[in-house]
Amino acid sequence: MLVFRLEDKQYCIDIAHIDEIVDRHELTKLPDSKPHVEGVMDLRGTTTTIVNPKTVLGQTGSGAGDRVIVFETEDERSIGWVIDEVNQVVSLDDADVDESVESKSVHGVVRQDDEFVIWVKPSAINI
């Protein structure tokens, strides 16, 4: 699992979905796009759509992160999430995950260092 930060909250996603993590570059805004789509950026010649998971997860902070998690997609689109900080990569046992809070965008929660880490489903946030 990749643990990352959005504002003051910790989130994680299965690292199997991740292609790479890069620095955020200048974005080009797209007219008439969904509210969580920040724009597109050029990533080594590939147009990558950048989304803001804060919008989908109900966070009100407007700060734009400096890092982008780029995902592997089945339809070969390049999609990235703008995040505030990458914290660490950790291994999890199924027993560590509380799935009782599962929803459209959340797989479950994990307790780590007296704090909850929210396990996010990438498919719920991507375009």
**Residues contacting 36, CB < 8 A, separation 6+:** 51, 52, 53, 55, 56, 125, 127
Please list, residue by residue across 17-37, b when 16 or more beta carbons sit within 10 angstroms of its beta carbon and e when fewer do: ebeeeeebeebeeeeeeeebb
In this predicted structure, what is the pLDDT of residue 111?
A: 85
pLDDT, tens digit (0-9, with 9 covering 90-100), for 92-119: 887 889 988 888 888 899 988 788 999 9
Q: Does domain 2-125 sit in CATH 2.40.50.180?
A: yes
Write down the domain spans for the chain.
Answer: 2-125
Identity at 18, one-letter amino acid code: I
What is the model's pLDDT at position 125?
72
Asked if pLDDT for residue 63 goes beyond 70, the answer is no
Is the pLDDT assigned to residue 76 strictly greater than 90?
Answer: no
The sign of the torsion formed by the CA atoms of 59, 65, 70, 73 equals positive
pLDDT at 77: 84
Q: Per-residue pLDDT tens for 1-60?
A: 999 999 889 999 999 989 999 999 899 999 999 988 999 999 989 899 999 888 888 787
Phi, psi (degrees; rounded to nearest 5) at 89: -110, 130
DSSP structure class, residue 28? B
